[in-house]
C-alpha cells in the first residue's frame, strides 16, 4: 500500500453527522420511521419516491430537469405523479399487474423514468435495459425471466428479437404514430383513457421491485431481483453519502439500465426529494460541463472513466464553464485513481468521494462520507452499521494489510432478494455460511479500517465501470464463421480502467487480415452491445488451457498482456 496524501473533510453541516448525533445508537429501525408505510402499512417504492412528497405539499418542486442537445424541460413532483398515474392506468388497462416482469428499453429521457416508476406503481418487477444493448443482450434478459411486457419506442424495437421472445404479451411504444402491429401507443392511449388517480398497488416490503442482469465470469448474465425494502438503505445512503438536502440539484450520469442509474439516478434522489438532472445523449466534455452550469448541479455522481475523459480534455475546456455550483462529487464502479482526486481538488476545489457497491448489494456499502478524511486510492470505510472483513480462502479473517476476499456481514436492508431461478448462484455468494456475503473482489484493510480494492478473484472484466462477463463475449465470438476458439480478458487501460481484449484461434482456411478482425469486432458489437465488443483482437495459434478439464486459462492470457504492457513501460 503506497502512502497517499490524506485529504481532510471540509467544514460544513452534513446529514450524516446530524443524524448520528441525534440517534446515539443508530439502527435501521430509526430510518423506517421516515417512510409513510411506517404509519399506514401501505408499501410502494414509487409512492415514497413521488406521491408522498406531493401529499406533503411539495408538488411544485422540480423533480426532473431534462437537458439534451436540442431540448430542455422540467417536471415537478406533481407532474411526475400525474404522469406516472397516467402511464400506470394504461399499463393496468392492458393487463400489467403485481409480480409481472416488465422491461423498459428507452434512452435517457424523462419517459424512461416515468415508465419505470409507473410499472413500480403497479407492483410489477421492472427490468430497465441499457440503451445500447443489441439483440442478444436483450434476448438473454427478457427470455430468462419470461418478461411479459416491454415499454420501448419504434426505433429501439428494431433491436428487439421479437420472434425469439414468445413470453412477451404486450409491447407499449412511446411514439404517437406507430406502424407496429399489435403494439400500443402510450401517447395515443393517453388521449382515450380516463386516469385512475388511485392506481397504486400496495405491496409487501419483501415483494419484487426491479431486476438487473449482471455478468459474472461464467455463463449468461444472471437476474438479480431486489425488493421494495431496498428503499430503507437507498434513502439513507442518498441522505448520508450523497448528502442530499432540500436545495440540491443532483446529477447521476448513469443510464437506468445500469444499477447505479436506477438506484442513484432515480430511487435515492427522489426518496430524498431532490431535483434530478437528466442529461440525454452520450459523453461529451463540453455538454457535460454545460449541463452543470445550466442546471446548477450541486451534487454529482459519476465514474472514474468519465473523470479520466474530462481530465484528458484538458483544463481549457473546464475553464470555459462556470461549474461553481458543485459542492459534492462522488464516484463509483471502478477503481478511482488518486490522480483523479488530486485533479479535482486542484481544479474544482472539491474532493471526489469514492463509493463501492454491486448490483447484488442494492446500495452503497463502502463509502467515503463527507465527514471523513479521504485516503486517495481507498474506496473508503464501511457505511455505519455495516461490518466488513477480509477473508482468506477458508473464510478466516486476515490481519491488517493482507489481501483477501472482501466480505460483508449480512443481511443489510438492500441486499438482493434472489437470483432469478438460480438458487445455486445465490448460495455461491455465501460459501462460508449465511453470515458473510462474498463480493468476488479482492481487497485489503489498513489499520484505520480504510479498504483498498485489489482486483477481482474471478475473470470478470470492468471496462468504464461496466461489468462484462468474458464467457458471453467468447460465446458470441465463436458464433462468427471464422472463429474456432476465443479467450477474452480485461487489458489494463489508462482511460477505461480495462478494455475487452480477445484472443482468437481462426478456423482452417481463414487468415488474419485487418478487415476480418474489424468484421469480427462488429459481429459482437451488433449482436451484444458496444461496450462488450473487444477493442483489441489478437489471433493466436492455440489458447492456453487447463490440462484436466481443458478450460481456457484466461489468467494466463491476462498475465501475458500485463507482461507486454510492462515491457512497453520499461
Ligand atoms: O469489482 C467491483 C467494481 O464493480 C463491481 C460491481 O459491478 P456492478 O454490479 O456492475 O455495479 C457497479 C456499480 C454499483 C464490484 O464487484 N466496483 C464497484 N465500485 C468500485 C469497484 N471497484 C473499485 N472501486 C469501486 N469504488
286-297 pLDDT, tens digit per residue, is 999 999 999 999
Query: Is residue 25 predicted with pLDDT exceeding 60?
Result: yes
Q: How far, in Å, CA of 230 to CA of 211, rounded?
A: 13
Q: pLDDT class for 215, splitting at 50, 70, 90?
A: confident
Nearest CA to ligand 1 atom 22: 334
The residue ranges of every structural domain in the chain are 15-443, 459-569
Query: Is residue 434 predicted with pLDDT exceeding 90?
Result: yes
Domain 459-569 has CATH 3.30.300.30: yes
Q: Which of 225, 355, 462 to mutate to test the pocket of ligand 1 (most atoms within 8 A of CB)?
A: 462
State the average pLDDT for the chain: 95
- For residue 570, the model assigns a pLDDT of 54
Residue 453, ligand 1, Cβ within 6 A: yes
Q: How far, in Å, CA of 447 to CA of 205, rounded?
A: 38
Residue 333, ligand 1, Cβ within 6 A: yes
Query: Is residue 2 predicted with pLDDT exceeding 60?
Result: no
Residue 462, ligand 1, Cβ within 6 A: yes
Q: What is the rounded average pLDDT of the residues 470-487?
A: 94
Q: pLDDT over 70 for what percent of the chain? A: 99
The dihedrals phi and psi of 423, each to the nearest 5 degrees, come to -60, -35
Q: How far, in Å, CA of 416 to CA of 408, rounded?
A: 13
Q: What is the rounded average pLDDT of the residues 276-289?
A: 96
The helix/strand/coil state of 274 is: coil
Q: How far is the CA of 128 from the centre of ligand 1 (A)?
A: 19
Nearest CA to ligand 1 atom 14: 358
Cell numbers describing residue 103: 422491461
- For residue 423, the model assigns a pLDDT of 97
Residues 308-325 have pLDDT tens digits of: 999 999 999 999 999 999
Residue 441, ligand 1, Cβ within 6 A: yes
Residues 233-252 have pLDDT tens digits of: 999 999 999 999 999 999 99
Q: What is the rounded average pLDDT of the residues 262-268?
A: 98
Residue 332, ligand 1, Cβ within 6 A: yes
Q: Which of 356, 360, 379, 388 to mutate to test the pocket of ligand 1 (most atoms within 8 A of CB)?
A: 356
CATH number listed for the domain at residues 15-443: 3.40.50.12780
Cell numbers describing residue 449: 479500517
Query: Is residue 1 predicted with pLDDT exceeding 60?
Result: no
Q: What is the rounded average pLDDT of the residues 521-545?
A: 95
Residue 89, ligand 1, Cβ within 6 A: no
Q: How far, in Å, CA of 465 to CA of 467, rounded?
A: 6
Residue 361, ligand 1, Cβ within 6 A: no
Query: Is residue 383 predicted with pLDDT exceeding 60?
Result: yes
Q: pLDDT class for 569, splitting at 50, 70, 90?
A: low
Q: Which residues pair with 76 in a beta bridge?
A: 62
- For residue 219, the model assigns a pLDDT of 84
- With b for 16 or more beta-carbon neighbours within 10 A and e for fewer, the 286-301 pattern comes to ebbbbbbbbbbbbbbb
Q: Which of 357, 360, 407 to mutate to test the pocket of ligand 1 (most atoms within 8 A of CB)?
A: 357
Q: How far, in Å, CA of 369 to CA of 77, rounded?
A: 28
Residues 168-189 have pLDDT tens digits of: 999 999 999 999 999 999 999 9
User: Which ligand 1 atom minimizes the distance to the CA of 212?
Assistant: 9
- For residue 197, the model assigns a pLDDT of 84
- For residue 362, the model assigns a pLDDT of 98
Q: pLDDT class for 81, splitting at 50, 70, 90?
A: very high
Residues 122-142 have pLDDT tens digits of: 999 999 999 999 999 999 999
Instruction: For the chain, give the number of residues.
Output: 570
Residue 486, ligand 1, Cβ within 6 A: no
Residue 259, ligand 1, Cβ within 6 A: yes
Q: pLDDT class for 4, splitting at 50, 70, 90?
A: low
Query: Is residue 79 predicted with pLDDT exceeding 90?
Result: yes
Query: Per-residue DSSP letters for 400-468?
Result: TT--EEEEEES--TTS-SEETT-HHHHHHT-TT-TTEEEEEEEEEE-TTS-EEEEEESS--EEETTEEE
Amino acid at each position: 500500500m503506497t502512502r497517499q496524501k490524506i485529504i481532510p473533510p471540509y467544514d460544513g453541516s452534513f446529514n450524516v453527522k446530524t443524524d448520528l448525533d441525534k440517534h446515539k445508537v443508530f439502527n435501521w429501525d430509526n430510518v423506517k420511521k421516515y417512510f409513510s408505510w411506517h404509519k399506514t402499512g401501505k408499501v410502494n417504492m414509487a409512492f415514497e419516491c413521488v406521491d408522498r412528497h406531493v401529499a406533503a405539499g411539495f408538488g411544485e418542486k422540480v423533480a426532473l430537469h431534462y437537458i439534451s442537445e436540442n431540448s430542455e424541460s422540467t417536471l415537478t413532483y406533481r407532474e411526475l405523479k400525474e404522469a406516472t398515474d397516467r402511464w400506470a392506468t394504461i399499463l393496468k388497462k392492458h393487463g400489467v399487474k403485481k409480480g409481472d416482469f416488465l422491461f423498459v428499453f428507452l434512452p435517457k429521457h424523462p419517459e424512461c423514468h416515468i415508465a419505470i416508476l409507473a410499472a413500480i406503481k403497479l407492483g410489477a418487477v421492472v427490468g430497465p435495459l441499457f440503451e445500447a444493448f443489441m439483440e442478444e443482450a436483450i434476448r438473454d434478459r427478457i427470455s430468462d425471466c419470461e418478461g411479459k411486457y416491454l415499454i420501448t419506442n419504434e426505433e429501439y424495437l428494431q433491436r428487439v428479437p421479437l420472434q425469439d421472445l414468445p413470453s412477451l404479451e404486450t409491447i407499449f411504444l412511446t411514439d404517437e404514430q406507430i406502424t407496429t402491429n399489435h403494439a400500443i401507443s402510450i401517447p395515443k392511449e393517453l388521449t382515450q383513457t380516463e386516469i385512475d388517480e388511485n392506481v397504486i398497488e400496495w405491496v409487501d416490503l419483501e415483494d419484487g421491485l426491479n431486476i438487473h442482469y449482471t455478468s459474472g465470469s461464467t455463463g449468461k448474465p444472471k437476474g438479480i431481483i431486489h425488493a421494495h425494502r431496498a428503499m430503507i438503505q437507498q434513502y439513507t445512503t442518498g441522505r448520508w453519502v450523497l448528502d442530499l438536502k432540500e436545495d440540491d440539484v443532483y446529477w447521476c450520469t448513469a443510464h437506468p439500465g445500469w444499477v447505479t442509474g436506477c438506484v442513484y439516478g432515480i430511487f435515492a434522489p427522489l426518496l430524498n426529494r431532490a431535483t434530478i438532472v437528466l442529461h440525454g445523449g452520450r459523453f461529451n466534455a463540453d455538454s457535460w460541463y454545460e449541463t452543470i452550469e445550466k442546471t446548477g448541479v450541486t451534487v454529482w455522481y459519476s465514474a472514474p472513466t468519465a473523470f479520466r475523459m474530462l481530465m484528458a480534455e484538458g483544463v481549457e475546456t473546464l475553464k470555459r464553464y462556470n461549474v461553481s455550483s458543485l459542492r459534492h462529487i462522488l464516484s463509483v464502479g471502478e477503481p478511482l485513481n488518486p490522480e483523479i482526486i488530486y485533479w479535482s481538488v486542484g481544479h474544482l476545489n472539491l474532493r471526489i468521494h469514492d463509493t463501492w457497491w454491486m448490483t447484488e448489494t442494492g446500495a452503497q456499502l463502502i463509502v467515503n462520507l463527507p465527514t471523513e478524511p479521504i485516503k486517495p486510492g481507498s474506496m473508503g470505510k464501511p457505511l455505519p452499521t455495516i461490518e466488513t472483513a477480509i477473508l482468506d480462502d477458508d473464510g478466516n479473517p486476515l490481519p491488517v494489510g493482507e489481501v483477501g476476499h472482501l466480505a460483508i456481514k449480512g443481511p443489510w436492508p438492500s441486499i438482493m432478494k434472489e437470483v432469478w431461478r438460480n438458487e445455486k448462484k445465490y448460495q455461491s455468494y455465501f460459501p462460508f455460511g449465511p453470515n458473510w456475503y462474498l463480493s468476488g473482489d479482492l481487497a485489503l484493510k489498513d489499520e484505520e479500517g480504510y479498504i483498498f480494492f485489489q482486483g477481482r478473484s474471478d475473470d470478470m472484466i470492468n471496462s468504464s465501470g461496466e461489468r462484462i462477463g468474458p464467457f458471453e463475449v467468447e460465446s458470441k465470438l465463436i458464433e462468427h464463421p471464422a472463429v474456432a476458439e476465443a479467450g477474452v480478458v480485461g487489458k489494463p487501460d489508462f482511460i477505461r480502467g480495462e478494455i475487452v481484449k480477445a484472443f482468437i484461434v481462426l478456423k482452417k482456411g481463414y487468415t488474419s487480415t485487418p478487415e476480418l478482425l474489424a468484421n469480427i469486432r462488429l459481429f459482437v458489437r451488433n449482436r451484444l452491445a458496444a461496450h462488450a465488443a473487444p477493442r483489441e483482437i489478437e489471433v493466436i495459434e492455440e489458447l492456453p488451457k487447463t490440462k484436466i478439464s481443458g478450460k481456457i486459462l484466461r489468467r494466463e492470457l491476462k498475465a501475458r498482456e500485463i507482461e507486454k504492457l510492462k515491457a512497453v513501460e520499461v
